[in-house]
Amino acid sequence: MQILLLLALALSLLVVVFALQNIVPVTVTVFVWTYQGSLALVLFVAFVAGALVSVLASLPSLVRTRWALSQLRRRLAEAEARAAPPA
């Protein structure tokens, strides 16, 4: 647990150093919309958007897997109930 805390602290420190060293303003243009902000902020938003897209893309598979797992657990409980000797 302490190792994970130290790794999180080190990663946080690296992110802060990266953000402080990349304050150069950049312009992002998408169709008619234009945004000007720091490079670190633009990269952070792009990273978060990519993570959100990947989570949304994996969501159907996750839901399908959980549904199948609940079906199998229900079948197992039914089989165990049938196999249990009467008390």
80 in any annotated domain: yes
10 in any annotated domain: no
Tell me which residue has tokens 């996750």: 62
3 in any annotated domain: no
Distance of alpha carbon 81 from the chain centroid: 39
Convert the pLDDT of each residue in 56-73 to its tens digit: 999 999 999 999 999 999
61 in any annotated domain: yes
Does position 87 have pLDDT exceeding 70, yes or no? no
35 in any annotated domain: no
Distance CA 81, CA 87 (A): 12
| Two structure tokens written together for 64 | 């399908």
Residue 86 DSSP one-character state: P
Q: Where are the beta strands (DSSP E) in the chain?
A: 25-30, 33-38
Give the number of domains in the chain.
1
53 in any annotated domain: yes
73 in any annotated domain: yes
16 in any annotated domain: no
Residue 40: band (very low, low, confident or very high) from pLDDT cuts 50, 70, 90: confident
Residue 46 belongs to domain spanning = 41-87
Convert the pLDDT of each residue in 6-38 to its tens digit: 998 998 898 888 888 888 899 999 999 999 998
Distance CA 42, CA 36 (A): 9
Q: Residue 76: what pLDDT?
A: 95
